[in-house]
Structure 1
Amino acid sequence: MAFVSQFSQLPCRTLSLNPPQTQLISKPLIFPIGPIVAGARAAAGKLAISARPVFKVRAVENDDERGEEKKRPYADGPAVAVAEEEEKPLEQSEIYKLKKALVDSFYGTDRGLRVNSETRAEILELIAQLEAKNPTPAPTEALSLLNGKWILAYTSFSGLFPLLSRSTFSLVKVEEISQTIDSEGFTVQNSVLFSGPLATTSISTNAKFEVRSPQRVQIMFEEGVIGTPQLTDSIVIPENVEFLGQKIELSAFSGIISSIQDTASNVVKTISSQPPIKFPISNAKAESWLLTTYLDEDVRISRGDGGSVFVLIKEGSALLSP
């Protein structure tokens, strides 16, 4: 029965009761099947034939056992995977609710300029909760997420308040404050977009940044840029206005308005062709730093000098929609 123990080492799944001779010798380098089968038939005769069903039964039993062993981890695996998949969306859902609540709390604050103590406390609490769930603990190692244009939604940085308050008492309005990061060139551009009755323009600063820690970057300002004013191409005048309690019809001024629109169009073409004005920045205050405490594909929370906080939303995010 020595041939029985040797034969049982073969992979039984590929064997049948009457295997073709070509299959038995197709892989002689793996195992010398042909000589063993011939010797077994000459020495044992019918015994080898009667032993074949035993081999088949053994193969079936081993297949069953192996099948059960393979199925058990597979059965356990999906259960764990499903649990993880269920837990992950739940965590993401909680984070999204926090982000939505934070953005909603900015309503009426004018980016932090007009905020009472109660709303400020609510905002700071939501910021702290988001920072505790930060999915990117090392933002400077995830530069692809930092890359792009970020719109300022809220700040406690008092240095911006004079700029924001100026638009409250004049015809010039701050339309947008943004920060654009180029993670490949290691550059940062801070920009403020202004709009007036007849034109829009922007003031920007260009800077370089260096990674100083997994969360911190050092920013070195290089130049300022005053953008070319873009005049309003069309002026919309209402049909009537109310002045000192009286309604004044403006239809009589339609010819003058049309002339102004034509003149404005010509001026737009002239001014827009002029290059922006650039000036170097070189003083002791030309450096700053930012610590990013929360980062995902939609929201970035950074902290700067004096404990100021900045909440920015990625351009194109649904969170910017009203």
Structure 2
Amino acid sequence: MRHASVIKQELAALGAETEVGFRAGPAATARIRELAAELEGMNPTPEPARAASLLRGRWRLLYSNFELQRRTTLAQLSTRLLPADPVEVVELYNEVDPRTGIYDNVINILFDDGTPGMVVMCGRYEAEDDQTIDIRYSDALLIGPGAPVRIPSTTARVSSLRTEVTYLDDGFRLVRGAYGSLYVLERLDPSPMLWSRDS
């Protein structure tokens, strides 16, 4: 059996090669799926959804198969809470703070004129069991020209998303969501960012 570090290195390399999944062809997608399954069989954390010290922090998305698009709109990035202005996705992050239940998705973007910005989907999570977490996104925060702008979702639009943490160590995480989605993330910092919504 190969060492987990070797598999993680290959996953990270494939994530970079496919531009976080934006340019993933069939061969790369199949290889990533194979590597993820192999790594999940080595999961060192028996209760990953409850492992607060390991979940906590700022995570960078290395790969996702969830139909990501480099060129998109603010509306598509925010479950239609923000306007349909065209933007380009630069990088994606996940901020997790088990103490407060924060589970934010942070997307660095470029507007058409080259101005940088950021979309934060503000969420909260709870552990449903040892491996599954339930996430609810309630607000969209836009940081950019004329911003920050915060737009809350109506109660009717706050849907529950169940995801399974299938691999977790002190620097690497695999998450599986609905419709066969796979997310590969690396931890950049054990401390998450603090957003103005929580100040």
When normalised by structure 2's length, the TM-score is 0.80
Q: Does 1:279 align with 2:151?
A: yes
Q: Which has the higher strand share?
A: 2
Instruction: Work out whether 1:182 is the aligned partner of 2:182.
Output: no
Q: 1:155 to 1:198 in 2, by over 3 A?
A: closer
Cα contact 2:91–2:108 (8 A) shared by 1 = yes
Which residue identity does 2:178 align to in structure 1?
Answer: D
**Matched residues in 2 for 1:103 and 1:223: separation?**
30
Counterpart of 2:24, as a letter, is V
CA RMSD of aligned residues (A): 2.3
> For residues 134 and 110 of structure 1, what CA distance do their matches in structure 2 show?
25
1:293 is aligned to 166
Asked if structure 2 preserves the Cα contact closer than 8 Å seen for 1:219 and 1:289, the reply is yes
Structure 2 residue corresponding to 1:302, chosen from 175, 181, 194: 175
* Paired position in structure 2 for 1:106: 15
Change (3 A) 1:107 1:276: closer
Paired position in structure 2 for 1:42: none
Q: 1:208 aligns with which of 106, 109, 124?
A: 124
Could you tell me which runs of 5 or more consecutive residues in structure 2 were left unpaired when the two chains were aligned: 74-85, 191-199
Report what 1:228 is aligned to.
144
* TM-score, normalisation: structure 1: 0.51
Unpaired runs of at least 5, structure 1: 1-90, 230-270, 318-322
**Runs of 4+ in structure 1 displaced over 6 angstroms?**
none
Amino-acid identity (%): 27
Question: Deviation of residue 277 (structure 1)?
Answer: 0.8
2 CA distance for matches of 1:220 and 1:173? 25
Are the aligned partners of 2:138 and 2:158 in contact in 1 as well (CA < 8 Å)? no
Q: 3-state DSSP class of the match of 2:11?
A: helix
In 2, Cα distance between the equivalents of 1:121 and 1:228?
37
Aligned equivalents of 1:118 and 1:99: distance in 2? 18
Count how many residue pairs are aligned between Structure 1 and Structure 2: 176
Rounded to whole Å, the distance in 1 between the matches of 2:168 and 2:134 is 17
Cα deviation, 1:48-82, whole Å, max 9, x if unaligned, reads: xxxxxxxxxxxxxxxxxxxxxxxxxxxxxxxxxxx
1:139 is matched by which residue type in structure 2? P
- Equivalence map 1:114-153=2 (5 Å): 114-153=23-62
Q: Distance in 1 between matches of 2:151 and 2:13?
A: 38
Whole-Å separation in 1 of the counterparts to 2:138 and 2:168: 26
**Deviation (angstroms), 1:131:** 0.2
CA contact (8 A) 1:137 1:294 kept: no
Structure 1 residue 173 and structure 2 residue 88: aligned? Answer: yes
Question: Aligned partners of 2:182, 2:109: CA distance in 1, in Å?
Answer: 23
Residue 113 of structure 1 contacts residue 165 of structure 1 at CA under 8 Å; is this kept in 2?
no
Report if the CA contact (8 A) 2:89-2:109 is conserved: yes
Larger helix proportion, structure 1 or 2? 1
- Residues 278 and 184 (structure 1), Cα distance of their counterparts in 2 relative to 1, 3 Å cut: same
Larger-gyration structure (1/2)? 1
